[in-house]
């Protein structure tokens, strides 16, 4: 019996080795078969496989493996938008927002897919909130500044107004907190008068008696709007030129071109009453440039919109506005223009007061149409025809919308970037987004 056991023990090891060898061979065969199958797939099939793998890992919150899968997909097809979007989502899941933005920027460069700037803006917004929540919990002001810098960079990259609005919300919240601290009960209740003189980080407040009465040609401070192109320091006080004092109040117009907008976002027949520029002025601009208290000083007035005296184009119904663009008639009246006949040698009248500079924000971020007057320009044209003095050399002017219709209702009149009033023969196409905005308003007289 003992001898039999020994025999069995000796014959067992070769059997195990044989089975292991067979298993290894089977694995090798399976691997070869899998490789053959993979290699036999078309690029489109391999791409789809990697996208499915990436999506599965993303749903399982395994972001590192998702990154590998999506990057493999991009190697197969560098223009596949879904692969870039999935990769960006994976980096956001890892809280690596900077890399997510880089991925989306690469996607836009490769594909020019029109929705990518919207996706980038959302990542910038989430990135700023992440910084405020994680780094801002300690009360460190540097995290707040960093969040504002992220939002400003995002706006410069995407031109998405949501980023501007978030900056304004954060800045306004900080300003309100500063005011609350400043007017604490310990101050003995003497703070009301002082609060009227400051707003948050040095924002100017203009009392009624500070702005009225004034004469034509003077300048006043009222409200605030982004102008220096540094979104981290909040809006700057607005300067206004006094055009007139009449029964409607004191008529003000912004000293500078403040922004760039289309007269209407769609190229359709339209008048001032329905255009998107009017809506923006009386909603977005009104609420962002003026506090609730400041808005109480702005009069709601009836605005006439006559037909074009040059082309007979319908001006539409009269409107009731708080903020508006000037008409051609108003420009001719307030700037003392002696408009030439369309048949005169020079169809454009120039006026130094109409040569309006854009703010750095309007010029560099909003890309308003503008140009500088060179020495050569002055010598050849502006000194003689326009009658400008030499102080305009080097000055940058921006074109700005008027509310009057052009040769048809798909055009609106403009003041040119060189200060020329040329609507007797030309006008701007209404959906052009780069002409300037110079708001006007009436302030209450008391």
Token pair belonging to 138: 């300690």
Q: Write out pLDDT tens, residues 236-278.
A: 999 999 999 889 999 999 999 999 999 999 999 999 999 999 9
Q: What share of the chain is helix, strand, coil (3-state, %, to 5)?
A: 50, 15, 35
Predicted pLDDT of residue 424: 60
Residues 6+ apart with CB under 8 A from 326: 253, 334, 402, 403, 438, 440
pTM as predicted: 0.60
- Report domain extents, the chain: 1-39, 43-173, 203-443
Structure token pair of residue 413: 């009149």
Asked if the model's pLDDT at residue 339 lies above 90, the reply is no
What per-residue confidence (pLDDT) applies to 23? Answer: 54
235: left (phi over 0), alpha (psi -120 to 50) or beta: beta
Residue 225 is predicted with a pLDDT of 94
C-beta separation of 49 from 43 below 8 A? no
pLDDT of residue 208: 42
For 287-337, write each residue's pLDDT tens digit.
Answer: 999 999 999 999 999 999 999 988 899 999 999 999 999 999 999 889 877
Which of the pair, 445 or 401, is modelled with greater confidence?
A: 401
196 confidence band (pLDDT: 50, 70, 90): very low
Predicted confidence (pLDDT) at residue 207 exceeds the cutoff of 80: no
- pLDDT above 90 covers a percentage of the chain that reads 45
Lowest mean pLDDT: which of 18-32, 135-149, 233-247? Answer: 18-32
Contact 210/446 with Cβ under 8 angstroms?
Answer: no
Mean pLDDT of the residues in the chain: 80
Q: Per the structure block, which two tokens stand in for 226?
A: 């982004």
pLDDT digits (tens, 9 = 90+) for 342-359: 444 456 778 888 999 999
Distance CA 405, CA 307 (A): 7
Q: How far apart, in whole angstroms, are the C-alpha atoms of residue 227 and residue 359?
A: 5
Phi-psi category of residue 229: left, alpha or beta, with phi > 0 → left and psi -120 to 50 → alpha: left
* Domain 43-173: CATH superfamily, name plus number: Tetratricopeptide repeat domain (1.25.40.10)
How far out from the chain centre does Cα 244 lie? 33
pLDDT class of 106 with cuts at 50, 70, 90 = very high
> What pLDDT is stored for residue 28 in this prediction?
59
Specify the pLDDT at position 267: 95
User: What average pLDDT does this structure show over 79-106?
Assistant: 93
Looking at the DSSP bridge assignments, the partners of residue 301 are: 321
Q: How far apart are CA 394 and CA 296, in angstroms?
A: 39
Q: Tell me, what's the pLDDT at 201?
A: 35
Is residue 56's pLDDT more than 80?
A: yes
**Which pLDDT band, with edges at 50, 70 and 90, does 188 fall under?**
very low
Q: What is the mean pLDDT of residues 363-371?
A: 89
Q: How confident is the model at residue 26 (pLDDT cuts 50, 70, 90)?
A: low
Residue 272 near residue 305, CB atoms below 8 Å: yes
pLDDT at 72 exceeding the cut of 70? yes
pLDDT digits (tens, 9 = 90+) for 390-420: 888 888 999 999 999 999 999 999 999 888 8
Residues 6 or more apart from 131 whose CB is under 8 A from it? 143, 146, 147, 150
List C-alpha distances in Å: 373 to 262, 368, 387: 25, 16, 13
The whole-angstrom separation of Cα 69 and Cα 56 is: 10
Q: Which residue has the higher pLDDT, 31 or 214?
A: 214
Percent of the chain with pLDDT over 70: 75
Per-range mean pLDDT, top range of 108-117, 181-190, 192-201, 377-386: 108-117
Count Cβ atoms below 10 Å from residue 347 Cβ, excluding itself. 17
Q: Which of 286, 436, 280, 288 is nearest to 370 (CA)?
A: 436
Confidence at residue 77, expressed as pLDDT on a 0 to 100 scale: 93
What does the pLDDT read at residue 17?
A: 46
Strand partners, 12: none
For residues 16-33, average pLDDT: 53
Peptide bond into 213 cis (omega under 30): yes
Bridge partners (DSSP) listed for residue 441: 252
Of 230, 241, 266, the closest CA to residue 354 belongs to 241
Burial letters 306-323, b for 16+ CB under 10 A, else e: eebebbebebbeebebbb
Q: Are the C-beta atoms of residues 365 and 432 closer than 8 Å to each other?
A: no
Nearest CA-CA partner of 324 in 286, 287, 350, 267:
286
pLDDT surpassing 90 at residue 218: no
Per-residue model confidence (pLDDT) at position 377: 81
Q: For residue 135, what pLDDT band results from cuts at 50, 70 and 90? A: low
């Amino acid at each position: 019996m003992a001898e039999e056991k020994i025999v069995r023990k000796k014959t067992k090891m070769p059997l195990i080795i044989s089975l292991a060898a067979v298993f290894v061979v089977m694995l090798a065969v399976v691997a070869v078969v899998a490789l053959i199958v993979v290699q036999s797939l078309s690029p489109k099939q391999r791409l789809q496989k990697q996208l499915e793998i990436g999506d599965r890992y993303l749903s399982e919150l395994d972001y590192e493996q998702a990154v590998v899968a999506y990057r493999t997909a991009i190697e197969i097809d560098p223009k596949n938008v879904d692969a870039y979007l999935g990769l960006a989502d994976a980096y956001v899941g890892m809280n690596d927002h900077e890399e997510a933005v880089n991925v989306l920027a690469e996607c836009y460069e490769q594909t020019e897919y029109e929705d990518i700037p919207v996706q980038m803006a959302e990542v910038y917004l989430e990135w700023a909130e992440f910084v405020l929540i994680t780094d801002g919990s300690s009360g460190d002001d540097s995290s707040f500044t960093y969040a504002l810098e992220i939002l400003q960079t995002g706006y410069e990259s995407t031109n998405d107004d949501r980023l501007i609005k978030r900056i304004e919300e954060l800045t306004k919240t900080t300003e309100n907190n500063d005011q609350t601290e400043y007017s604490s009960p310990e101050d003995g209740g003497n703070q009301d008068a002082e609060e009227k003189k400051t707003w948050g980080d040095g924002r100017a407040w203009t009392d009624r008696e500070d702005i009225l009465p004034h004469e034509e040609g003077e300048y006043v401070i009222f409200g605030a709007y982004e102008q220096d192109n540094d979104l981290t320091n909040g809006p700057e006080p607005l300067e206004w030129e006094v055009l007139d004092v009449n029964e409607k109040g004191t008529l003000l117009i912004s000293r500078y071109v403040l922004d760039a907008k289309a007269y209407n976002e769609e190229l359709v027949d339209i008048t001032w009453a329905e255009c998107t520029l009017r809506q923006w002025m009386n909603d977005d601009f009104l609420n962002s440039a003026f506090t609730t208290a400041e808005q109480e000083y702005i009069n709601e007035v009836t605005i006439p919109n006559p037909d074009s005296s040059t082309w007979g184009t319908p001006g539409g119904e009269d409107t009731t506005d708080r903020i508006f663009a000037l008409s051609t008639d108003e420009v001719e009246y307030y700037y003392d223009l002696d408009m030439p006949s369309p048949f005169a040698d020079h169809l454009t009248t120039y006026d130094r007061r109409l040569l309006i500079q854009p703010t750095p924000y309007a010029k560099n971020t909003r890309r308003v149409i503008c140009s500088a007057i060179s020495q050569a320009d002055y010598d050849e044209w502006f000194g003689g025809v326009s009658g400008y003095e030499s102080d305009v050399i080097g000055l940058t002017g921006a074109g700005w919308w008027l509310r009057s219709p052009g040769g048809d209702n798909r055009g609106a009149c403009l003041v040119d970037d060189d200060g020329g009033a040329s609507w007797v023969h030309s006008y701007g196409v209404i959906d052009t987004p780069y002409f300037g905005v110079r708001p006007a308003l009436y302030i209450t007289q008391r």
